[in-house]
Structures are given as C-alpha cells and as structure tokens.
Amino acid sequence: MEKSDLLRIAGKRIQQLREQKGLTQVDLAGKIQGEFDTTNVSRIESGRTNPTLYTLHRISEALEVSLSELLAI
C-alpha cells in the first residue's frame, strides 16, 4: 500500500467516526487536547498530511475511541 493511500484511508476513518459522533470539524478541533486548528483536521481527513502518533492519540481521545479503533482500516 502506498503512503498516500494509507493517509487517505486513515483520514476517511477519522471523518467517519467524527460524523458518527455528530461532530463538525470545528467541534473536533475544539475537543482535541492542546491547540489544534480546524484546518489540521481538514488536512488529516483528506489525507494531505501525515499526523504524528501523538496527534492520532489526541484525536482518538477527542472522539472517545481507542487508538486501535481509530486506526481500524
């Protein structure tokens, strides 16, 4: 699997979980621990950036799912 494919698939999974929780990108950015800009959420969901493991951890906490559930692709 290519890196770009993996980033796109992971981003879609984050988007899917966010939408299941009824959250907008703004809502999710506000729930993420520390400073996190809405444009970062957009870039991650579209697969345009490679988030760090720590960022993925923070997103999983904000979505109230485990990291393994977040990355269940």
Q: Could you give the number of structural domains in the chain?
A: 1
Contacts (Cβ under 8 Å, ≥6 apart) of 57: 67
CA distance 3 to 31: 27
Report the run of H or E that residue 14 belongs to, with start and end. helix 3-20
Domain encompassing residue 22: 3-70
**pLDDT given at position 30:** 95
Please give the angle made by the CA atoms of 19, 24 and 27, to the nearest 5 degrees.
120
**pLDDT given at position 73:** 73
**pLDDT given at position 72:** 87
Question: pLDDT averaged over consecutive 10-residue blocks of the chain (73 residues)?
Answer: 93 97 97 93 97 96 96 83
**pLDDT given at position 1:** 81
CATH, residue 27: 1.10.260.40
**pLDDT given at position 28:** 97
